[in-house]
Amino acid sequence: MLFRQFFDTESSTYTYLIASAPGREAVLIDPVKPCMEQYLRVIRELDLRLVTAIDTHTHADHITALGGLRERTQCVTVMGEFTRAECVSRHVHDGERMDIDGITLEALYTPGHTDESFSFLLDSPGAPRAVFTGDVLLIRGTGRTDFQGGDPGRSHDSITGRLFPLGDHTLVYPAHDYKGWTVSTIGEERLHNPRLAGKTREQYIEIMNGLQLPDPRLMDVAVPANLACGEERSIP
């Protein structure tokens, strides 16, 4: 299996490329529109064929490359079943397993950052077990819960009820990082995430409700664009 993590320095987004060694079929998770040419370049250089592009949720801080990648490569675009982005070709439900040329990704409904957020568990023979958590679980942090149907209680339930049971050795690959972390494990976050370790559900809700973060800079542009798979429309 081939694995690459990309970092968009503008929005601090991590994008993941996973490809099978035998069939050269590839998946991208949370691709960012301004980095599309870089992904296509690597896919060409490594002699891969992009077959699937996934967004974990409707991002509010960058514009997705999903639509652009579909146009350029005819890949299938995937999001969870509760997304409002109707342009997506395939909507996966909780527990659904996608097999991409031997790469198995299981969709896990993990709301809280938004009400339509999914995580994706990589669980393939010969590959390290890893979960792509979008913005629900970050490294030593968690995604904000104050817009797009976000809910701190549901965030806590998703993290402790769906992600922590994946096992301490499962690698955690989030959609963002702002402090120089690139990867973690479930065990690390369970024991050392300052918002979660030793905190009750009520304390977590209090922390999240007290964050008072400004809206993401690109939110008013990114959310409508991402509902159209990245197509930027002038608002009438």
What are the residues binding its own copies (CB under 8 A)?
4-9, 35, 38, 45-46, 178-183, 188, 191-192
Q: How far is the CB of 50 from its own copies (least distance, A)?
A: 17
Integer Cα distance of 154 and 127 in angstroms: 30
Strand bridging mode 76-80 / 49-54? parallel
Q: How far is the CB of 218 from its own copies (least distance, A)?
A: 17
Q: How far is the CB of 139 from its own copies (least distance, A)?
A: 10
Q: Contact at 8 Å (CB) between 66 and 53?
A: yes
Q: How far is the CB of 8 from its own copies (least distance, A)?
A: 6
Integer Cα distance of 199 and 193 in angstroms: 10
Q: How far is the CB of 192 from its own copies (least distance, A)?
A: 5
**Residue number, 18 or 223, with CB nearest to its own copies:** 18
Can you read off the two tokens belonging to residue 130? 């890893």
Residues counted in the chain: 236
How far, in Å, are 11, 54, 163, 183 from residue 98 at the CA level? 28, 11, 18, 23
Q: Contact at 8 Å (CB) between 160 and 141?
A: no
Integer Cα distance of 13 and 65 in angstroms: 12
**Residue number, 46 or 211, with CB nearest to its own copies:** 46
**Residue number, 151 or 177, with CB nearest to its own copies:** 177
Q: Is 233 helix (H, G, I), strand (E, B) or coil?
A: coil
**Residue number, 4 or 72, with CB nearest to its own copies:** 4
Of 54, 74, 56, the C-alpha closest to 65 is 54
**Residue number, 49 or 84, with CB nearest to its own copies:** 49
Q: How far is the CB of 5 from its own copies (least distance, A)?
A: 5
**Residue number, 22 or 179, with CB nearest to its own copies:** 179
